[in-house]
A and B are shown apart, each in its own frame.
Chain A
Amino acid sequence: AQKITQTQPGMFVQEKEAVTLDCTYDTSDPSYGLFWYKQPSSGEMIFLIYQGSYDQQNATEGRYSLNFQKARKSANLVISASQLGDSAMYFCAMREDYGNNRLAFGKGNQVVVIP
Protein backbone atom coordinates (compact mmCIF):
# COMPACT_ATOMS: atom_id res chain seq x y z
CA ALA A 1 0.00 0.00 0.00
CA GLN A 2 1.21 3.46 -0.82
CA LYS A 3 2.37 5.26 2.29
CA ILE A 4 2.64 8.76 0.85
CA THR A 5 0.13 10.20 -1.61
CA GLN A 6 0.70 13.31 -3.67
CA THR A 7 -1.92 13.57 -6.40
CA GLN A 8 -2.01 17.19 -7.51
CA PRO A 9 -1.29 17.81 -11.17
CA GLY A 10 1.43 20.25 -12.13
CA MET A 11 0.82 23.75 -10.79
CA PHE A 12 1.52 27.19 -12.17
CA VAL A 13 1.96 29.87 -9.53
CA GLN A 14 2.29 33.60 -9.95
CA GLU A 15 5.45 35.05 -8.48
CA LYS A 16 4.94 36.41 -4.95
CA GLU A 17 1.81 34.33 -4.39
CA ALA A 18 1.53 31.45 -1.92
CA VAL A 19 1.13 27.85 -3.00
CA THR A 20 -0.02 24.80 -1.05
CA LEU A 21 1.17 21.31 -1.94
CA ASP A 22 -0.92 18.40 -0.66
CA CYS A 23 0.44 15.31 1.03
CA THR A 24 -1.45 12.55 2.78
CA TYR A 25 0.20 9.61 4.49
CA ASP A 26 -0.68 6.23 5.87
CA THR A 27 0.89 4.66 8.93
CA SER A 28 -0.09 2.72 12.02
CA ASP A 29 3.09 3.72 13.82
CA PRO A 30 2.30 6.37 16.48
CA SER A 31 5.79 7.84 16.14
CA TYR A 32 6.85 9.11 12.74
CA GLY A 33 8.40 12.07 10.98
CA LEU A 34 7.39 13.87 7.82
CA PHE A 35 9.83 15.58 5.46
CA TRP A 36 9.55 17.77 2.41
CA TYR A 37 12.28 17.89 -0.21
CA LYS A 38 12.73 20.10 -3.25
CA GLN A 39 14.20 18.75 -6.48
CA PRO A 40 15.12 21.39 -9.08
CA SER A 41 15.82 20.41 -12.67
CA SER A 42 19.47 19.75 -11.77
CA GLY A 43 18.30 16.64 -9.90
CA GLU A 44 19.68 17.20 -6.41
CA MET A 45 17.31 16.71 -3.48
CA ILE A 46 17.19 19.62 -1.04
CA PHE A 47 15.71 19.19 2.43
CA LEU A 48 13.13 21.87 3.26
CA ILE A 49 11.24 21.11 6.44
CA TYR A 50 10.48 18.45 9.04
CA GLN A 51 7.42 17.71 11.20
CA GLY A 52 7.37 15.14 13.99
CA SER A 53 4.19 13.28 14.82
CA TYR A 54 4.33 14.47 18.41
CA ASP A 55 5.16 18.09 17.62
CA GLN A 56 2.46 20.37 19.01
CA GLN A 57 3.09 23.18 16.56
CA ASN A 58 3.28 23.27 12.81
CA ALA A 59 6.84 23.46 11.55
CA THR A 60 8.11 26.58 9.83
CA GLU A 61 11.38 27.31 8.03
CA GLY A 62 11.60 30.72 6.44
CA ARG A 63 9.06 30.84 3.60
CA TYR A 64 8.12 27.20 4.13
CA SER A 65 5.50 26.04 6.58
CA LEU A 66 3.84 22.72 7.13
CA ASN A 67 0.10 22.46 7.72
CA PHE A 68 0.01 19.30 9.83
CA GLN A 69 -3.40 17.77 10.45
CA LYS A 70 -2.71 14.55 12.30
CA ALA A 71 -6.26 13.24 12.46
CA ARG A 72 -6.59 13.61 8.71
CA LYS A 73 -3.05 12.23 8.15
CA SER A 74 -2.24 15.27 6.12
CA ALA A 75 1.02 17.24 5.92
CA ASN A 76 0.64 19.99 3.34
CA LEU A 77 3.56 22.25 2.45
CA VAL A 78 2.89 25.96 2.11
CA ILE A 79 5.36 28.13 0.22
CA SER A 80 4.74 31.80 0.80
CA ALA A 81 5.81 34.64 -1.52
CA SER A 82 6.83 32.33 -4.38
CA GLN A 83 10.05 33.09 -6.22
CA LEU A 84 11.18 32.00 -9.67
CA GLY A 85 13.75 29.75 -7.99
CA ASP A 86 10.94 27.79 -6.36
CA SER A 87 10.16 26.11 -9.69
CA ALA A 88 10.89 22.46 -9.00
CA MET A 89 9.44 19.09 -8.04
CA TYR A 90 8.48 18.80 -4.39
CA PHE A 91 8.45 15.47 -2.57
CA CYS A 92 6.80 14.52 0.68
CA ALA A 93 8.41 11.67 2.63
CA MET A 94 7.77 9.80 5.85
CA ARG A 95 10.04 8.04 8.28
CA GLU A 96 8.49 5.63 10.76
CA ASP A 97 9.98 4.95 14.15
CA TYR A 98 10.21 1.25 13.42
CA GLY A 99 11.36 1.79 9.85
CA ASN A 100 15.13 1.51 10.27
CA ASN A 101 15.70 5.10 9.18
CA ARG A 102 14.01 4.43 5.86
CA LEU A 103 12.12 7.16 4.04
CA ALA A 104 9.03 6.47 1.96
CA PHE A 105 8.55 9.07 -0.78
CA GLY A 106 5.50 10.28 -2.64
CA LYS A 107 5.52 10.79 -6.40
CA GLY A 108 5.97 14.53 -6.12
CA ASN A 109 4.26 17.78 -7.08
CA GLN A 110 5.53 19.89 -9.99
CA VAL A 111 5.52 23.64 -9.38
CA VAL A 112 6.28 26.27 -12.00
CA VAL A 113 6.51 29.87 -10.84
CA ILE A 114 5.67 32.43 -13.51
CA PRO A 115 6.70 36.08 -13.44
Chain B
Amino acid sequence: DGGITQSPKYLFRKEGQNVTLSCEQNLNHDAMYWYRQDPGQGLRLIYYSQIVNDFQKGDIAEGYSVSREKKESFPLTVTSAQKNPTAFYLCASSLTGPLYNEQFFGPGTRLTVL
Protein backbone atom coordinates (compact mmCIF):
# COMPACT_ATOMS: atom_id res chain seq x y z
CA ASP B 1 0.00 0.00 0.00
CA GLY B 2 1.22 3.49 -0.82
CA GLY B 3 1.41 5.96 1.98
CA ILE B 4 3.40 7.79 4.60
CA THR B 5 4.71 6.18 7.76
CA GLN B 6 5.91 7.96 10.86
CA SER B 7 7.60 6.37 13.77
CA PRO B 8 7.32 6.14 16.64
CA LYS B 9 3.69 6.99 17.38
CA TYR B 10 4.52 8.15 20.90
CA LEU B 11 7.90 9.46 22.00
CA PHE B 12 9.14 10.54 25.38
CA ARG B 13 12.37 12.34 25.96
CA LYS B 14 14.15 14.04 28.78
CA GLU B 15 14.91 17.71 28.66
CA GLY B 16 18.22 18.45 26.99
CA GLN B 17 18.15 15.41 24.69
CA ASN B 18 17.97 15.51 20.93
CA VAL B 19 15.43 13.19 19.31
CA THR B 20 14.81 12.21 15.69
CA LEU B 21 11.36 11.58 14.23
CA SER B 22 11.13 9.33 11.22
CA CYS B 23 9.06 9.98 8.10
CA GLU B 24 9.01 7.67 5.07
CA GLN B 25 6.84 7.79 1.97
CA ASN B 26 6.45 5.41 -0.95
CA LEU B 27 4.23 7.69 -3.04
CA ASN B 28 7.13 8.86 -5.21
CA HIS B 29 6.45 12.44 -4.16
CA ASP B 30 9.16 15.04 -4.60
CA ALA B 31 7.97 17.36 -1.84
CA MET B 32 7.89 16.57 1.86
CA TYR B 33 6.90 18.66 4.88
CA TRP B 34 7.04 18.72 8.66
CA TYR B 35 4.32 20.37 10.74
CA ARG B 36 3.85 20.94 14.40
CA GLN B 37 0.41 20.97 16.02
CA ASP B 38 -0.29 22.22 19.54
CA PRO B 39 -3.60 21.53 21.33
CA GLY B 40 -6.49 23.47 19.84
CA GLN B 41 -4.27 24.92 17.14
CA GLY B 42 -3.76 24.51 13.45
CA LEU B 43 -0.66 23.14 11.78
CA ARG B 44 2.50 25.23 11.63
CA LEU B 45 5.19 24.49 9.08
CA ILE B 46 8.62 23.61 10.47
CA TYR B 47 10.63 22.61 7.38
CA TYR B 48 9.88 21.54 3.85
CA SER B 49 11.77 20.01 0.98
CA GLN B 50 10.86 20.11 -2.69
CA ILE B 51 13.64 17.91 -3.92
CA VAL B 52 16.34 15.60 -2.63
CA ASN B 53 19.30 17.35 -0.96
CA ASP B 54 17.40 20.60 -0.63
CA PHE B 55 15.15 21.96 2.10
CA GLN B 56 13.84 25.28 3.37
CA LYS B 57 12.85 26.66 6.73
CA GLY B 58 9.20 27.06 7.44
CA ASP B 59 7.60 29.39 9.94
CA ILE B 60 8.94 27.81 13.13
CA ALA B 61 12.30 26.20 12.23
CA GLU B 62 14.25 27.30 15.31
CA GLY B 63 15.37 24.33 17.38
CA TYR B 64 14.75 21.80 14.60
CA SER B 65 16.88 20.30 11.86
CA VAL B 66 16.16 18.05 8.87
CA SER B 67 17.91 16.15 6.12
CA ARG B 68 16.74 14.92 2.73
CA GLU B 69 19.28 12.42 1.48
CA LYS B 70 16.71 10.14 -0.14
CA LYS B 71 13.47 10.93 -1.93
CA GLU B 72 11.48 8.65 0.38
CA SER B 73 12.81 9.90 3.69
CA PHE B 74 12.66 13.22 5.55
CA PRO B 75 13.69 12.80 9.20
CA LEU B 76 13.19 15.62 11.69
CA THR B 77 15.52 16.18 14.65
CA VAL B 78 14.16 18.06 17.60
CA THR B 79 17.20 19.54 19.30
CA SER B 80 17.70 20.63 22.88
CA ALA B 81 17.52 24.22 21.60
CA GLN B 82 13.78 23.84 21.00
CA LYS B 83 12.30 25.48 24.08
CA ASN B 84 8.90 23.81 24.11
CA PRO B 85 9.05 20.62 22.04
CA THR B 86 6.03 18.82 23.49
CA ALA B 87 3.58 18.67 20.57
CA PHE B 88 2.06 16.50 17.85
CA TYR B 89 4.27 16.28 14.77
CA LEU B 90 2.88 15.52 11.34
CA CYS B 91 4.81 14.69 8.21
CA ALA B 92 3.30 15.17 4.75
CA SER B 93 4.25 14.73 1.12
CA SER B 94 2.94 15.92 -2.21
CA LEU B 95 3.60 16.16 -5.88
CA THR B 96 4.98 19.50 -6.97
CA GLY B 97 3.48 21.50 -9.82
CA PRO B 98 -0.24 22.27 -10.13
CA LEU B 99 -1.97 23.91 -7.21
CA TYR B 100 -4.51 21.11 -6.85
CA ASN B 101 -1.93 18.57 -5.67
CA GLU B 102 -3.00 17.90 -2.13
CA GLN B 103 -0.63 16.98 0.67
CA PHE B 104 -0.88 13.47 2.06
CA PHE B 105 -0.24 13.09 5.76
CA GLY B 106 1.27 10.45 7.96
CA PRO B 107 -0.35 9.31 11.23
CA GLY B 108 1.79 11.64 13.35
CA THR B 109 4.19 11.35 16.28
CA ARG B 110 3.23 12.66 19.69
CA LEU B 111 6.34 13.92 21.47
CA THR B 112 6.37 14.54 25.18
CA VAL B 113 9.30 16.07 27.00
CA LEU B 114 9.56 14.96 30.62
A binding-site residues for B, Cβ under 8 Å: 4, 6, 31-33, 35, 37, 42-47, 50, 52, 91, 93, 95, 97, 100-103, 105-108
A108 cross-chain contacts in B, Cβ below 8 A: 40-42
Q: How many residues of B contact A (CB 8 A)?
A: 29
Q: B residues 21-45 with Cβ under 8 Å of A?
A: 31, 33, 35, 40-45
Interface-lining segment among B12-20, B71-79, B94-102: B94-102
- Could you tell me the distance between the alpha carbons of A44 and B106 in the complex, rounded to whole angstroms? 7
Complex Cα distance A102/B107, Å? 19
CA distance A40 to B107 in the complex (A): 11
Q: How many A-B residue pairs have CB under 8 A?
A: 65
What would 11 more interface pairs be, CB under 8 Å, given A107-B41, A108-B41?
A: A37-B105, A44-B106, A45-B43, A45-B90, A45-B105, A47-B102, A50-B100, A52-B100, A101-B48, A101-B101, A105-B43
Is the pair B42, A44 in contact by a Cβ cutoff of 8 Å?
Answer: no
Q: A95-B99, A105-B43 are in contact. Are A44 and B48 (CB under 8 A)?
A: no
In the docked arrangement, what's the CA distance between A80 and B84, Å?
40
Instruction: Known contacts A45-B90, A100-B50, A101-B50; decide if A106 and B96 are in contact (CB<8 Å).
Output: no
CB of B8 within 8 Å of the partner chain: no
| Nearest Cβ on chain A to B54's Cβ, whole angstroms | 11
* Nearest CB of B to A41, in Å: 12
Q: In B75-114, which residues have CB < 8 Å from any A CB?
A: 88, 90, 92, 94, 96, 99-108, 110
In the complex, whether B58 has a CB less than 8 A from a CB of chain A is yes
Contacts of A4 in B (CB 8 A): 42
Is the C-beta of B56 less than 8 angstroms from some C-beta in chain A?
yes
Q: Are A102 and B99 in contact (CB under 8 A)?
A: no
Contact of B108 with A103 in the complex, beta carbons under 8 Å: no
**Is the pair A43, B42 in contact by a Cβ cutoff of 8 Å?**
no
Cα-based distance from A31 to B42 in the complex (angstroms): 23
Q: What is the minimal beta-carbon distance from B53 to any residue of chain A, in angstroms? A: 16
